[in-house]
Amino acid sequence: MPLARRRDLCYFRCMEIKPPVPRAILVGVQLPSVDDIAHTASLAELGRLVKTLGYEVVATVSQKRAGIDSSAVLGKGRLEALAAMTGGTGIIESMAVPRKSKARERFEVAENEEPPAAAMEPGQDAAPKPEFVIVDHELSPNQARNLERATGVQVLDRTGVIVEIFNRHARSREAKLQVEMARLKYVAPRLRESSAGPGRQQGAGESDLELDRRKIRDRLAELKEQLEEIQHDNTQRRYARREQLRVALVGYTNAGKSSLMRSLTGSEVLVADKLFATLDTTVRALHPPTNPRVLVSDTVGFIRKLPHDLVASFRSTLDEALEASLLLFVVDASDPAYESQLEVSRSVLHEIGADVIPSRLLLNKIDRVTEADRAALREKHPDAILVSAKSPQDVATLRETIVAFFEASMVEDELVLPYAKQSLLGEVYENARVLSEEYDATGRILKVRGLPGAIARLRSALADS
Verify that 386 and 305 share a domain, yes or no.
Answer: yes
Residue 35 located in a structural domain: yes
Q: Which domain holds residue 333?
A: 242-407
Low-confidence ranges of the chain (pLDDT < 70): 1-19, 93-127, 192-206, 237-243, 269-280, 307-317, 465
| CATH assignment of the domain containing 141 | 3.40.50.11060
Verify that 139 and 281 share a domain, yes or no.
Answer: no
Residue 385 located in a structural domain: yes
Confidence at residue 113, expressed as pLDDT on a 0 to 100 scale: 47
Verify that 179 and 276 share a domain, yes or no.
Answer: no
Verify that 57 and 144 share a domain, yes or no.
Answer: yes
Confidence at residue 114, expressed as pLDDT on a 0 to 100 scale: 42
Verify that 394 and 261 share a domain, yes or no.
Answer: yes
Verify that 322 and 415 share a domain, yes or no.
Answer: no
Q: Which residue, 220, 175, 170, is CA-closest to 316?
A: 175
Confidence at residue 330, expressed as pLDDT on a 0 to 100 scale: 93
Confidence at residue 192, expressed as pLDDT on a 0 to 100 scale: 66
What pTM does this model have?
Answer: 0.72
Distance (Å, whole) CA 437 – CA 419: 13
Verify that 388 and 369 share a domain, yes or no.
Answer: yes
C-alpha dist (Å) from residue 222 to 168, 292, 435: 21, 41, 53
Distance (Å, whole) CA 248 – CA 279: 14
Verify that 280 and 364 share a domain, yes or no.
Answer: yes
Residue 255 located in a structural domain: yes
Residue 57 located in a structural domain: yes
Verify that 401 and 347 share a domain, yes or no.
Answer: yes
- 294 neighbors 407 (Cβ within 8 angstroms): no
Confidence at residue 375, expressed as pLDDT on a 0 to 100 scale: 94
Verify that 177 and 144 share a domain, yes or no.
Answer: no
Verify that 38 and 136 share a domain, yes or no.
Answer: yes
* Domains in the chain, number: 4
Verify that 255 and 224 share a domain, yes or no.
Answer: no
| CATH assignment of the domain containing 401 | 3.40.50.300
Distance (Å, whole) CA 314 – CA 297: 15
